Chains A and B, each alone.
Chain A
């Protein structure tokens, strides 16, 4: 049986205080506890699995460097969300800028072979791939709450707190996102189409 939510929150806030006092061991522990949802935020903003690891490294660095600027420890999740989101947006803008300068596909557009190897090693099935592609095809404003909801199992209220928006907005976005996912996954995929073609 886990600790009560209030106790957990208090422990998290204590860790944040220690991070602000430049305690690397506290940061390592805090990272392990929060990596999942922060990774989810980065993935949600980027909509691209290949660059998540790189951006996440920047996010850790930024949080460590800017921990002093967090005014109210109770709002640490919103602050971390904001840092992660902006880092991912900057990475996205950087890619867009390079696309303008370079004609043809930039490095970031090409699938990272290391990432694909990791996906294969993790046992991502074709079905998983198809669902992930459908999530990636959603507009970013719908993708973020979907990932936080399904990766972390967070309530609408908690998602709203972290994203700094009303619960109603989260609800609306999730309902629309689920409709879009259903529509996308209802369509036969290209792979299915190819398989049918081969049968005929």
Chain B
């Protein structure tokens, strides 16, 4: 195809697209009257234009699920629903877990966690004057042993805003267990 023909073909395509100004339209019409093969070419491009538009319109009109995109944007509603879904199973599970911790954990904690023996106080000896009868005193270890256990407690609380908060707290418990009496009664003067 010659350069001149290419230009006319471009005019035909732009004419089919409705993009010619008045001067260009006149020029094209003159050529179309003069050359029947250009009229055929124009008919061909008009048919192609219709076919392209129809094919794209058919593609566009196929069913598309537009709910997904709309759903994606409804942020607050969605997050609330997700929260409720979590809440439904999470709160009973948390309560059950707390009960289990309360029932079973203290025994294990005694044996394993942060046991720190507290030194027993030294035997006490009362002071007295030389003229006084020496009192009878108890000499030996104290009858109880004291242990302090530090453990972590987990507590669930529903706040005023309706949300479920988990609080973790370090709690120290002091345990006193009775010991065997090891003391003897004696007088400090050896009597």
Contact = CB atoms under 8 A, between A and B. Distances in A.
Interface of A: 24, 27-28, 31-32, 35-36, 39-40, 43, 49, 53, 56-57, 60-61, 64, 118-119, 121-125, 127-129, 131-132, 135, 146-147, 149-151, 153, 155-156, 171, 174-175, 178-179, 181-182, 185
Contacts of A36: 60
12 contacts: A119-B59, A121-B63, A122-B61, A122-B63, A124-B59, A131-B52, A132-B55, A132-B56, A132-B59, A150-B53, A171-B10, A182-B44
Contacts of A125: 58
B51 A131 contact: yes
Interface residues of B, number: 34
A153 B52 CA distance: 11
A112 to B, nearest CB: 13
Interface in B156-183: none
B59 A175 contact: no
Nearest to B52: A150
Interface of B: 9-10, 13-14, 17-19, 44-45, 48-49, 51-66, 68-70, 72-75
Given A28-B70, A60-B72, A178-B13, A128 B58 contact: yes
B37 to A, nearest CB: 14
Given A35-B66, A124-B58, 16 more contacts: A53-B64, A53-B65, A64-B73, A118-B62, A119-B59, A122-B63, A127-B51, A127-B55, A128-B58, A128-B59, A150-B56, A156-B19, A171-B10, A178-B49, A179-B13, A185-B48
A131 B17 contact: no
Nearest to B74: A24
Closest 8 CB pairs of A and B: A122-B62, A131-B55, A128-B55, A24-B73, A151-B56, A150-B52, A150-B53, A175-B10
Contacts of B17: 149, 156, 174
Contacts of B54: 128, 131
B73 A28 contact: yes
Contacts of B69: 31, 56-57, 60
Contacts of B45: 178, 182
A39 B48 contact: no
Contacts of B18: 155
B72 A57 contact: yes
Contacts of B74: 24
Q: Which of B51, B55, B66 has the most CB of A within 10 A?
A: B55
A185 B55 CA distance: 13
A118 B62 CA distance: 6
Nearest to A128: B55
A67 B63 CA distance: 28
Contact of B48 (A60, A155, A181): A181
B55 A135 contact: yes
B19 A155 contact: yes
B126 to A, nearest CB: 80
B13 to A, nearest CB: 5
A175 B63 contact: no
Nearest to B57: A151
A155 B62 CA distance: 25
A122 B58 contact: yes
Nearest to A26: B73
Q: Which of B10, B56, B58 has the most CB of A within 10 A?
A: B56
A135 B49 CA distance: 12
Given A127-B51, A131-B51, A175-B10, A39 B19 contact: no
